[in-house]
Amino acid sequence: MAMTTAAAHALALLIFNNTNWANVGDATGLRGSTVAGSFWLNIATADPGVSGTQSTSEANYTGYTGAGARQSIARSGAGFAVGTGGAVSNAALISFGACTAGTNQITYQGLGTDQTGAGNLIVSGAVTSPVGGLAVSAGITPQYNVGALTITVS
């Protein structure tokens, strides 16, 4: 069996916008968190795989540290736009730290629970634009324009 379009949409809203999913179990349904919190987006130089963490193959160019490293995305409509059928994208510009030294070929991205450390990776996927990933060197600031980061819940 496959998840219906309506169920995928409701699940995406619950996960990414902290919106209750009514009538699952009882009338109150699956409840969102008391405090919505955020997910943390990281960029990587290789596929972390299904058993990887947020730090698996994580970028390490100079500038991808502290506030320039993983970027917070609020679990709300301000952070994620949720379309029909479980289509999710970033609702605001996301910028990482500018590279000041070193190089990385950014080929994957991941979304997880922690600002630093191994962290629980929730979803990950290949960078599709530019094709082959983003070559990062001095002066390059990796970023996602609005709608450029896409996730499909199905």
Domain residue ranges in the chain: 5-152
Does residue 133 carry a pLDDT above 90? yes
pLDDT digits (tens, 9 = 90+) for 7-36: 999 999 999 999 999 888 877 888 889 899
Query: What's the pLDDT at 81?
Result: 98
pTM of the model: 0.92
Question: Which are the contacts of 131, defined by CB distance < 8 A and separation ≥ 6?
Answer: none
Question: Which are the contacts of 67, defined by CB distance < 8 A and separation ≥ 6?
Answer: 97
Please say whether the beta carbons of 25 and 7 come within 8 A: no
Does residue 67 carry a pLDDT above 90? no
Query: What's the pLDDT at 1?
Result: 93
Does residue 138 carry a pLDDT above 90? yes
pLDDT digits (tens, 9 = 90+) for 85-96: 899 999 999 999
